[in-house]
């Protein structure tokens, strides 16, 4: 089987021997096998040729004048970035010289006189092994380039728990260099906490422990410590590497999810807050009111709801436009916030309708005081872009458990009371009563 069966171009071989007869015989034999052949008569010329041309194999005589074969071999294996395999040829039956050749990096040797069938198969084996190693090296390099380019942190750990690989993303997230981490135990750098463990002492690779399950593990809502002592949220998983059902290492994959959490938090905020006034919106209020009623019922407390509808707001929109009207609503929201304690809340239901939920007021008189304060604040002139705007407010008040037992009823009663306040002349407050609902 000729060398032309190699999928790539025919291998190129360099013969280095001071005996011209050996060089001729080797060239004839190798070219007959389909190889590309160059030759040199001494080590100096061989090293110069190797600096100019790449070879798949060097056949090198051990005993040569000038610099001998082992010295040439050592120069090849140490000075070239991708050195070719070296096959030593010798007529010397000297164990020390052979050992020295292997120590210099030779992959094999063959004795003179050369047995050509042995040489043929030895060369095919060496070239096949070398090309396989080179292919695996290139493949490994490609995989490493992919891992290096990954946005997620990726870390390889050996059986002893020592870090064998950490990609640039992982280094940046943790704040350490590859040199600082490689060869050290993973627990020195992967200090993990979960909602149940705030001490950053969670073992992220439990499968290394005796009797542990050899299966992947994922940590939800985890946090990792950075080198500077700060922590950041991560999506973290660890997978054991198994060989013959026995653990031989592990792979850690982690992603900084700070931006994802911030985006989710922003989405939650936008879903529960009015974009104009930044007050909690109707969506928030419909969840909060039942919770507040439940707490009031549990602790036998009163709960008061104020339904506020602005007076004389429509003429502002009609006269000055919705841009001015929107800015008036922003100032209304700012003024209503000032009427509240920390445990109370104000929400915009939509349009010019607002509600105030009082959880800190034990009496109806307290609710009426807040209502009057809100009316007084909204009676004050509002200046927007050199326009002086005057509004007022009608406020309806519902009290749990005096006139309602559930959230829907409480909101409806406050709305009814607000309309009664408008009937009473606007710019005033009114408690719900059954007569006002008629």
Task: From residue 244, give the alpha-carbon distance in Å to each of 59, 136, 199, 208, 241.
Answer: 40, 22, 36, 16, 10
Q: Say if CB 183 and CB 163 are below 8 A apart.
A: yes
Contacts of 247 (CB under 8 A, 6+ apart): 159, 207, 208, 214, 240, 241
SS3 115: coil
Kindly calculate the radius of gyration of the chain based on its CA atoms and give it in whole angstroms.
42
262 phi/psi in degrees, rounded to 5: -65, -40
DSSP 255-287: EE-HHHHHHHHHHHHHHHB-TTT--BBHHHHHH
Give the Cα separation of 109 and 374 in Å (integer). 99
Among 101, 251, 107, 114, CA closest to 170: 251
DSSP H or E run through 27? helix 20-32
> Is the link from the previous residue into 113 a cis peptide, with omega within 30 of 0?
yes
The Cβ-side half-sphere exposure at 179, using a 13 Å CA radius, reads: 0
Q: Which two tokens stand for residue 27?
A: 């060239």
Give the Cα separation of 74 and 47 in Å (integer). 11
Among 422, 319, 335, CA closest to 382: 335
Q: Say if CB 433 and CB 398 are below 8 A apart.
A: no
Q: Say if CB 373 and CB 305 are below 8 A apart.
A: no
Active site residue 352: yes
Q: Which of 352, 403, 406, 415 is catalytic?
A: 352
Residue whose token pair is 């979960």:
194
Catalytic center residues: 352
């Amino acid at each position: 089987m000729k060398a032309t069966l190699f999928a790539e171009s025919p291998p190129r071989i360099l013969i280095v021997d001071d005996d011209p007869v050996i060089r001729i015989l080797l060239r004839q034999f190798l070219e007959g096998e389909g190889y590309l052949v160059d030759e040199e008569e001494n080590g100096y010329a061989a090293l110069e040729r190797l600096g100019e041309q790449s070879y798949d194999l060097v056949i090198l005589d051990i005993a040569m004048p000038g610099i001998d074969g082992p010295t040439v071999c050592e120069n090849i294996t140490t000075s070239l970035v991708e050195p070719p395999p070296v096959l030593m040829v010798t007529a010397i039956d000297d164990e020390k010289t052979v050992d020295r050749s292997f120590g210099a990096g030779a992959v094999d040797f063959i004795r003179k006189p050369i047995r050509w069938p042995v040489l043929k198969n030895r060369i095919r084996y060496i070239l096949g092994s070398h090309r396989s190693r080179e292919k695996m090296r290139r493949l490994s390099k490609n995989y490493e380039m992919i891992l290096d380019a990954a946005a997620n942190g990726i870390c390889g750990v050996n059986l002893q728990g020592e870090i064998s690989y950490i990609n640039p993303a992982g280094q940046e997230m943790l704040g350490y260099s590859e040199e600082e981490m490689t060869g050290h135990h993973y627990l020195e750098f992967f200090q993990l906490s979960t909602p149940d463990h705030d001490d950053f002492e969670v073992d992220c690779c439990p499968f290394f422990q005796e009797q542990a399950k050899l299966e992947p593990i994922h940590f939800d809502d985890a946090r990792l410590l950075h080198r500077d002592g700060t922590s950041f949220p991560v999506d973290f998983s660890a997978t054991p590497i198994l060989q013959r059902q026995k653990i031989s290492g592990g792979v850690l994959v982690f992603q900084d999810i700070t931006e994802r959490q911030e985006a989710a938090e922003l989405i939650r905020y936008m879903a529960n807050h009015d974009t104009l006034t930044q007050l909690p919106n109707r969506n928030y209020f419909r969840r909060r009111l039942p919770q507040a009623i439940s707490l009031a019922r549990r602790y036998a407390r009163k709960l008061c709801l104020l339904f506020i509808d602005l007076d004389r707001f429509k003429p502002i929109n009609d006269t000055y436009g919705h841009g001015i009207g929107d800015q008036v609503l922003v100032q209304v929201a700012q003024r209503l916030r000032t009427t509240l304690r920390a445990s109370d809340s104000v929400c915009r239901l939509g349009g010019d309708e607002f509600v105030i939920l009082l959880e800190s007021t034990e009496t109806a008189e307290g609710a009426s005081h807040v209502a009057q304060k809100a009316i007084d604040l909204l009676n004050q002139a509002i200046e927007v872009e050199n326009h002086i705007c005057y509004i007022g407010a009608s406020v309806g008040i519902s009290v749990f458990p005096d006139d309602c037992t559930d959230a829907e009823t409480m909101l409806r009663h406050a709305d009814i009371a607000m309309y009664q306040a408008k009937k009473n002349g606007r710019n005033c407050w009114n408690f719900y009563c059954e007569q006002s609902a008629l």
